[in-house]
Structure 1
Amino acid sequence: MSPHYSSRSSHNSNNTTPVIILYDTPGHSSQPWAPNIWRIRFVLNYKRLRYRTQWVEFQNIETTLRSIGAPPSSVRSDGRPVYTLPVIVDPTRNPSRPEIISNPSNIAEYLETYYPARPVFPEGSRSLQSLFVHYIQEIFAKPLLPIMVPLSAQGLPERSQPPVYHLHTHIHAANPLPPGPQRERAWQLVKEQFDFLSSILEKNSLDGDGVCVMGYSVSYADFALCSVLLWIENMAPHDGWARVREWNGGRWIQLRERCRDYMDVL
């Protein structure tokens, strides 16, 4: 099951109506793959906002973002700016002076503030959801990096492959882990994080469905988590997703299905 491309009229753009532009980078297939960008695509689709995707080759990201005046997504310890995706350009509120926002957390906050219909942060949950997403990025996904970063680098189109990759992490891409004990140990460390998170989400089965972070309805936290699932599915469908979908009683395939309606690629 893959994300699907949509031509829904509610999202269609034309030459006269400004729409939000989402900057993304292609992988080895037609499907988007980068988890931070998927997180924002989920939000745009959930809020039913009109947007289109602007594809940027990986090696052209910094040049392109500088050329449109995008702020850096972060700054290194030595003061050098870091330019990564996602970035959105929003001309719909002021066509003569479009808003340009980088960093997925900043983009999510912007979209929630200026397009509050169909909120991804239910009332009173913004701080807790932000903490949850920080946990997903900094703790939950960390054991995945030695596996997924090399696969993601390898999965870039050949024309986009520089000599060394960083893919907004501190891990340089090398050859993917070969079959054997080292790779199995890496996946075991990943499973430990999934098991722990499953035990936390299971607490929602007392007053929710046990699938969504907020109880019954999907929210920003679910989109952040499902973005990691899609990363695994797209870049490691046989070795990775085949494992993950079976873990924890099928919890993760259930979450993916709950987010399916918001997987359009426009």
Structure 2
Amino acid sequence: MSQSVITLYDIHSTIPQPWAPNIWRIRFILNYKRLPYRTVWIELSEIEATLRMIGAQPTSYRSDGRPVYTLPVIIDPLRSMSAPVVLSNPNTIADYLETAYPARPVFPEGSRALQALFVHYIQDVFVKPLLPILVPLTHQRLPERTQAHFSRGAAPTPPPTAMVGPQREQAWNAVREQFDFLAGILDKNTSDGNGAVAMGRDVSYADFALCSVLIWVEKVSPHDCWARIREWNGGRWARLYTRCREFMDVF
């Protein structure tokens, strides 16, 4: 393992570019702050074993007390003379990177609380109507080895079923409601000319959280889901995607 750069753990899939939104939130920060890092790709079936091995903390616990290990996780070898810093949970990692590397802040002074609320809305409310549409499409892009792991495990998980017909259009109506609501909120920003970013002028963690969802849509379903969403609300979401594009490098 390199001793000079941050390591970011990401999910291996058949998609040429990474897609997982929670992990993209951290990759955005690393790129925006111009921090050197490398990506280590893990099969979904190997996440728990890998994270236990490197000493990462679980991100949550099941009702029976068993730990749940999820990505993103970073290892930062630069911040300690005795041992590297190993962190899980995207919000914890974001706070750490902002504190440890304050140059080029993603939380402008006085904005952290409001941005935390915005990000909470994105991950707990805004994205929910998209899940029934995107999860089956994402499952199809996982390597066969990973799909087989879920279907033959101790508690076999059937593959998620893609919605069709009226059920799918109903789901899209719920998605459109969330995008319309958020567009109405962002319309209150005018200082950047189109209100595309949450803070009104400069990109911030809130924009990275939202654009991470757009990347998930674009990578998993570029010609269907993204082709639909990018035209909504006067092309606002395509503008935000373009605004964040310079921070989309993958190392």
Q: Please indicate the TM-score interval, normalised by the length of the shorter structure.
A: over 0.9
Q: One-letter code of the match for 1:150? A: P
After superposition, give the CA deviation of every residue in 1:7-57 in whole Å (9 maximum; x if it has no partner).
xxxxxxx96x51000000122222001000001000000000010001111
- Corresponding residue pairs, total: 245
Q: TM-score, normalised by structure 1?
A: 0.88
Runs ≥4 residues deviating over 4 A: none
After superposition, give the CA deviation of every residue in 1:134-158 in whole Å (9 maximum; x if it has no partner).
0001100010111111111121111
Question: Residue 223 of structure 2 aligns to a residue in which SS?
Answer: helix
Of 87, 91, 101, 2:77 maps to 91
After superposition, give the CA deviation of every residue in 1:203-254 in whole Å (9 maximum; x if it has no partner).
102x343111001110000000000000000111122001000000000000
1-structure distance, mates of 2:93, 2:26: 7
Q: Give the deviation of 1:76 after TM superposition.
A: 2.3
In the alignment, structure 1 segments of 5+ residues that lack a partner are: 1-13, 166-170
Instruction: Give 1:52-91 correspondences, 5 Å limit.
Output: 52-91=38-77
In the alignment, structure 2 segments of 5+ residues that lack a partner are: none
1-structure distance, mates of 2:235, 2:120: 24
Instruction: Give 1:1-266 correspondences, 5 Å limit.
Output: 18-94=4-80, 96-161=82-147, 162-163=149-150, 173-178=159-164, 180-205=165-190, 207-209=191-193, 210-266=195-251
Q: Give the deviation of 1:75 after TM superposition.
A: 1.8
Q: Give the deviation of 1:172 after TM superposition.
A: 7.4
Is the 1:18–1:95 contact (alpha carbons within 8 Å) kept by the matching residues of 2? no
Question: Alignment identity in percent?
Answer: 64
Q: Which deviates the most, 219-228 or 78-87?
A: 78-87
2-structure distance, mates of 1:243, 1:159: 31
Question: Residue 87 of structure 2 aligns to a residue in which SS?
Answer: strand
Is the 2:150–2:158 contact (alpha carbons within 8 Å) kept by the matching residues of 1? no
Q: TM-score, normalised by structure 2?
A: 0.93
Is the 1:149–1:173 contact (alpha carbons within 8 Å) kept by the matching residues of 2? no
Question: Residue 22 of structure 1 aligns to a residue in which SS?
Answer: strand
Equivalence for 1:8: none
1-structure distance, mates of 2:169, 2:85: 45
